[in-house]
Amino acid sequence: MLEIKNLHVDFEGLRGKTEALKNMNLSLNNGEILGIVGESGSGKSITALSILGLLEENAIISKGKIIYNGVNILELSKKDIQALRGKEIGMVFQEPMTALQPTMKIGKQLFNVIKQHRRLSTKETKEAVLHALREVHIDQPELVARKYPFELSGGMRQRIVIALAMAAPPNLLIADEPTTALDVTIQYEIINLIKELNDKRGTSVLLITHDLGVVANVCDRILVMYAGEVVESGSTKQVLNNPIHPYTKSLLAALPDSVEPHQPLQAIEGEPPNLLKRPKGCAFSERCHYVMDICKEEHPELKDGESNHQVSCWLEKVIV
């Protein structure tokens, strides 16, 4: 249903051109949950914003296509993209307050969205509001519908945002760090809720996160990004049980063994490269324990391995 082909996104700035996304490719099938994982600045959000037509003014899409149900989104007018965003593609971002109207009651916000997209009478819309709240496990929907966003906890607000995003109802849900601002236990509840809605409704989901631990269990496939490029992709099993790229390996090594809230995360040493001046060879070479001469000279392309497990690393070639 969604395919990104060779997408390149640059940002024009005072200090020059930043290559934020380089040769991005992904495909998302109907009903699938695809996880996009990487550190901040790896191009995950830029990918999401490109699909949604929400890139900033100084962004330049220099190459590529984003095909959604047979249509190249990049060729649509602003108005058509906007229509797609409301109706076909739902979105959930990190901070729930940005998606909520602070001065409008929850019930009214849901009412407006449902009324706009579905042909229902006023009475039916009111029932749909309560149903939407129950679907995201809000216990007392009548009571919560009468509250303002500030009267609710962060986790409750994110549930409401998910209810709003799913109201149209969309075919695709893009969730960009939907749990990052929340407590650990709430994070799992929210991710499980997304998985539940995916199961129940068949909505495809693009789940973007820096935290592989939180999303691992619910994704069908995982795509690992580094410095604006995909460095590894495959089924969740392939990526978690048989990671090949050294960056994926260090992401996995950095995961805590349990979900104890106060366990410190082991950070990966070093910094991602400056995207104003990309390294000639592998973008991970400065931080990689396995770096070889060729890594600094030549850029490794993403290569197909066993059953669609793709990796961009010179090491992989050496091993296979």
By the criterion CB under 5 A, which residues form the site for Mg ion?
45
Paired with 136 in beta bridges are: none
Residues that bind ligand SF4 (CB under 6 A): 245-246, 282, 284-285, 288, 290-292, 295, 300, 313-315
Pick one of Mg ion, ligand SF4, none as the site partner of residue 288 (Cβ within 5 to 8 A by kind).
ligand SF4
Pick one of Mg ion, ligand SF4, none as the site partner of residue 284 (Cβ within 5 to 8 A by kind).
ligand SF4
> 90 CB contacts (<8 Å, ≥6 apart)?
164, 165, 166, 167, 168, 169, 170, 172, 173, 174, 203
The b/e string for 220-257 (b: 16+ C-beta within 10 A; e otherwise) is bbbbbbbbbbbbbbbbbebbbeebbbbbbbbbbeebee
Closest to ligand SF4 by CB, 54 vs 294, is 294
Q: What is d(CA 56, CA 49) in angstroms, rounded to the nearest whole number?
A: 9
What SS3 state is found at 43?
coil
CB-closest chain residue to Mg ion: 45
Closest to ligand SF4 by CB, 219 vs 313, is 313
Start-to-end CA distance of the chain, whole Å, equals: 32
Closest to Mg ion by CB, 45 vs 233, is 45
Pick one of ligand SF4, Mg ion, none as the site partner of residue 221 (Cβ within 5 to 8 A by kind).
none
Closest to ligand SF4 by CB, 167 vs 295, is 295
Shortest distance, CB of residue 197 to Mg ion, whole angstroms? Answer: 22
Shortest distance, CB of residue 291 to ligand SF4, whole angstroms? Answer: 4
What SS3 state is found at 295?
helix
Shortest distance, CB of residue 316 to ligand SF4, whole angstroms? Answer: 7
Pick one of ligand SF4, Mg ion, none as the site partner of residue 155 (Cβ within 5 to 8 A by kind).
none
Closest to ligand SF4 by CB, 114 vs 315, is 315
Shortest distance, CB of residue 270 to ligand SF4, whole angstroms? Answer: 12
Q: Where does residue 199 fall: left (phi above 0), alpha (psi -120 to 50 degrees), or beta otherwise?
A: alpha
Closest to ligand SF4 by CB, 114 vs 295, is 295
Pick one of Mg ion, ligand SF4, none as the site partner of residue 45 (Cβ within 5 to 8 A by kind).
Mg ion
Shortest distance, CB of residue 226 to ligand SF4, whole angstroms? Answer: 9
Which burial class, exposed, middle or buried, applies to 61 when counting CB atoms under 10 A from its CB (0-12, 13-18, 19+)?
Answer: middle
Question: Which candidate, 244, 247, 236, places its Cα nearest to that of 311?
Answer: 244
- Please report where in the chains the tokens 């049980």 appear, as a residue: 241
Pick one of Mg ion, ligand SF4, none as the site partner of residue 285 (Cβ within 5 to 8 A by kind).
ligand SF4
